[in-house]
Structures are given as C-alpha cells and as structure tokens.
Amino acid sequence: MNETPSPRPRDPIPHRRLCLAADMEQYGRLDTRTQSAVQSVLVRLLDDAAALTGLNRAAWARQPQGDQEFAVLPEDTPEATVLGPFVHHLAARLGALNARPAAPRVRLRLAVDTGVVADAALGHAGPAPVSVARLVNAPQLKAVLAALTSADLAVIVSDRLYQDVVRSGHSGSGHSGSGHSGLDPAHYVRVHVRVKEFGGYGWICVPGYGPDAVRRSMAEAGRTLPDRPGPHRTALSQYVNQGVAVGRDVSGGLTVGPPAGPTPTDPGPAS
C-alpha cells in the first residue's frame, strides 16, 4: 500500500533575514490572459534586477501570490545592495518595459524589511514577513503610485532598515551611501502606517522623484495619515511577535503592543 509522503519538515529555528514583497498595481483590472502574461513579466523583472545586482535569485525562498511575490533572502544578503542597486535596476527595467508600445504597463509597489523569520507549515512566521505584507499595502504607498502617474515603482522600507542602513550611510559596495539615490536619506519620506492590526513607521521613496513630490502626491490623494498617534491613541508596534504570512494575509496568534522606546523624531528632508 502506497502512503502519501509527509511534508518535508521545516526548520523552526528563527533567523534574521531580509524580506521583500513586490505587488503589481491595478492587477485586478486586467483580463485573465493579460494577468497570466504580467505574472511572467513580474518574475522576469525580479530575475533581471537580481542578476544585474549580483544577487542569486535561486537562493531566495519565494512565495508567488498571483500579482505579488513575497521572498525571504539568504542570511548573507547585503541589505544596502537590495535598497540601492537592486531597486535601481528594478526601476530601470520597469522603465524600459513600459517604454515599449502596445505592451501592458506594469507598475510595482515594493516593501522591504529585516527581522526574525522562521519557516512555518504555510509559509514563514515572524515579524518581518508580517511587516512587509502590511507595508506593501500601506495607503500612503498606494496613494503615491496613484498620484505620480508617470512613476513605475514606489518603495517603502521599514523604520529599522532606514535607521540601520539608509540613515547611517551604509552601502553594499564600499562607497558612500549618499552617492546612490536608493541610499540617500533625503529621498525618503516618513509615514505612519496602520493596516489591520499592524502599526509602525515606514519610509517611502520613488525612484526619479524627490521627497516634495511624494508628500504632495499623498496630500493630493487625500490619503495622508497622522505622522504620530494622537494623545489619546496608542500606536501598535510593527514588531509583531507571532503570525504566519500566507498570501496577502496573516494567520496565527498576533501579539502587538506599544512601540518600545520614544517615538522617533523626523530628521526632515535634506535640501
């Protein structure tokens, strides 16, 4: 009698990993044939950007989700390389694709975070998978891409990545981070994101656009949320202790609480 093989056991030990989610804008408006085509395009865009950056996509733990791909990158992936060169090449590949006549336009929202990740039966568990699932759907990020109609890519990074990598000036190639727009703090705008049970700070940048254009786009779309919680509200922490990222949602127990430490101070845009 043949027995169905049991699933391969996953490693329950959490590791600190870099996570990202890339989501296509207005995918639901496409017909079935076009949806199938642009799914292939999304994979090719990410493959090309990774190859041009020197990242090994074969080593990424990927969860395709129709119009979105969620990925957990290897432990040794340089964070600054993803935020700088990878974002640059992704934006360039998108621009080249969308310049072609008669091709369906592809526009992306990209969220990136780093934190504890553990393999789970239905995907990945930990704060970082939950965070990117929420950040990629941030109302402010959607508003920016909706308002900046000529933009192909809008990026949001977690506050911890911004503080540790962008603001500190690290780079993936030994050069000053300020020399690359993806690592220039002046190109980022801080927002307070509240999606479902998640609350936390993120930083938005749009390749090819300055911070003033990002702020105006949020205001014009009427989507701007308070940068800080009001005096009678407690902000939920983005450091979700438990949960499993499956598709667009999070299942499992979620433990959330007030952010540790004082509310960060906005350094303000560079002139």
Predicted local confidence at residue 20, as pLDDT: 94
Predicted local confidence at residue 225, as pLDDT: 47
Nearest to 20 by CA among 66, 74, 93: 74
Predicted local confidence at residue 231, as pLDDT: 40
Banded model confidence at residue 270, pLDDT cuts 50, 70, 90? very low
Residue pLDDT, tens place only, 194-238: 877 777 889 999 999 999 999 998 887 664 444 444 443 333 334
Task: Read off the pLDDT of each residue in 143-163 and give the average, rounded to a whole number.
Answer: 94
Does 170 score more than 70 pLDDT?
Answer: no
Does 73 score more than 90 pLDDT?
Answer: yes
Residue pLDDT, tens place only, 19-70: 999 998 866 666 677 777 778 889 999 999 999 999 999 999 998 777 789 9
Q: Are 203 and 189 in contact (CB under 8 A)?
A: yes
CA separation for the pair 72, 129 (Å, rounded):
8
Predicted local confidence at residue 205, as pLDDT: 95
Q: Are 160 and 211 in contact (CB under 8 A)?
A: no
2-6, 135-139, 177-181, 248-252: range with highest mean pLDDT: 135-139
Task: Read off the pLDDT of each residue in 74-92 and give the average, rounded to a whole number.
Answer: 94
Task: Read off the pLDDT of each residue in 247-260 and give the average, rounded to a whole number.
Answer: 33
Who contacts 11 (Cβ-Cβ below 8 Å, separation ≥6)?
Answer: 118, 119
Does 78 score more than 90 pLDDT?
Answer: yes
1-5, 131-135, 176-180: range with highest mean pLDDT: 131-135
Q: Are 119 and 108 in contact (CB under 8 A)?
A: no
CA separation for the pair 139, 235 (Å, rounded):
17
